[in-house]
A and B are shown apart, each in its own frame.
Chain A
């Protein structure tokens, strides 16, 4: 059985204790989406402010466990200032790291250009895949982000 040190890395606990970019943004103009993890009742709200094609600000509300909260916190840092194409690429890379990519679905498979996007601190969440029940915690913010990207403001 994998040890808890694989899951609860120091950087994860740091983001959990001191989440970055918590809060709300006025909508409109921000695009907003809510996500739920029906397994544990975690709820997350992603507020996405775009400047043209670029993420100029992002905030996260809701509540959840250390994994979902730290993943969301790291996500906000990783996508701020990025173009939507880069954001989508990052989502694919992150979900690929969580081993839930589907090879037979071209849209879901990480492309070669995706490797240009650095995961940085997010690599710390790699240990989550050893605890399959927690993968949904780690991906909750990311799936909600995709919903926000696809949702017009208002």
Chain B
């Protein structure tokens, strides 16, 4: 999965927001360490939070925090309204058919577990086939492994091409007889964008459910779950400028209605008797216990923030910055630096996993840290993909709406320091 030169076939699209002004809205990014700015290139891991999100959560906590869905006083009704308002915002952001198609979860991982545990247990038995891809991270692998161990289902894997895209040549064969096809919309390791609508159609042609792990995709691209034709999609607030502790599962209404509850407890019931219980309707059915209320408000504020910038503009910004990063790193380091994954900007996002000479990623990250350049070093919770790449770990720089060319330049300068220390 290497290539020496970046192919940049995507059309040149100008940044349609002022990056400096955007960056200034993120308090974390205005912090100086050793008198120098932070170059945060780890948004594929988790994103920083804009002032608008921080303020929305603070204001809600100070003036409006109260229980939801269970008390009759006005403040509780106001809190419930804020919580449900956030659900509506998130639903609109991904073009869900109805706000109730959004289930608030702890994160995308829990959303995928909900599908595997609740839908899967109700619908999958010995011999049933679940198709995954070699791009998946652990959250879209382990829940299916758990189900496989419990139910004896068969897992099949869509392989990759040499440049880290899905190899779809045998897809129809893999999907033959499958019940579920669960795949990433965007790889958190290689940045690969997958043809989601095409994959959903292929799943349906085979009679399989289409589950989309959209956790890396939604923060960086305009998303329309209905245009995808998907059945379920999972994503997380913390990767899209919102707080951690809350994520979402979108599901088609009739599927959610037919899926048994996930966790049991308060809020998810219509009635509880000594001899059993009746679940509440969707979405409460899947939201047992007191949810992350303030975090939901923050999630909604993050959606407002992103919509204010426009997701087309966010994607355009990242395409341009990724182009700059690919060109800069290739020009400065040539064959000494290998970027994993596709180089065609039409099919990749701003996630750059790379190998630098034979300096271990952990050491690369350590040296970059001296220059306040934050990258992730490790297996990125995708150990099967790491093994396919033939590496134990990679260094990964991931770009977001608040990054600029100075961040990329700092990365390249930091790599020069690594060369100095490791003595090539």
Contact = CB atoms under 8 A, between A and B. Distances in A.
B423 A4 contact: no
Nearest to B393: A41
A63 B422 contact: no
B145 interface: no
B363 A66 contact: yes
A151 interface: no
A63 B370 CA distance: 24
B392 A41 contact: yes
Nearest to B394: A41
Interface hub of B34, B393, B423 (most chain A Cβ within 10 A): B393
A40 B378 contact: yes
Contacts of B34: 1
Interface in B186-229: none
Contacts of A1: 33-34, 370
Interface in A1-26: 1, 3-4, 7-8, 13
A134 B386 contact: no
A134 B366 contact: yes
A7 B369 CA distance: 13
Interface of A: 1, 3-4, 7-8, 13, 39-43, 63-67, 69, 131, 134, 137
A4 B362 contact: no
Given A40-B361, A65-B360, A137-B362, A4 B379 contact: no
Interface string B372-395: 000001110001001000001100
A41 B394 CA distance: 9
B160 interface: no
Contacts, number: 50
Given A13-B423, A66-B422, 16 more contacts: A1-B33, A1-B370, A4-B367, A4-B421, A8-B421, A13-B421, A40-B378, A40-B392, A41-B383, A41-B392, A42-B392, A42-B393, A64-B362, A64-B392, A65-B363, A134-B362
A13 B421 CA distance: 9
A3 B417 CA distance: 13
B367 A41 contact: no
Nearest to B33: A1
A129 to B, nearest CB: 14
Interface hub of B33, B383, B392, B422 (most chain A Cβ within 10 A): B392
A69 B422 CA distance: 14
B411 to A, nearest CB: 17
A144 to B, nearest CB: 15
B395 to A, nearest CB: 10
Contacts of A40: 361-362, 377-379, 392-393
Contacts of B363: 65-67
Contacts of B392: 40-43, 63-64
8 contacts: A13-B421, A40-B361, A40-B378, A40-B379, A64-B360, A65-B360, A66-B362, A67-B363
Contact of B378 (A7, A39, A67, A134): A39
Nearest to B392: A41
B375 to A, nearest CB: 12
B379 A131 contact: no
Contacts of B33: 1
A138 to B, nearest CB: 12
A41 B366 contact: no
B421 to A, nearest CB: 6
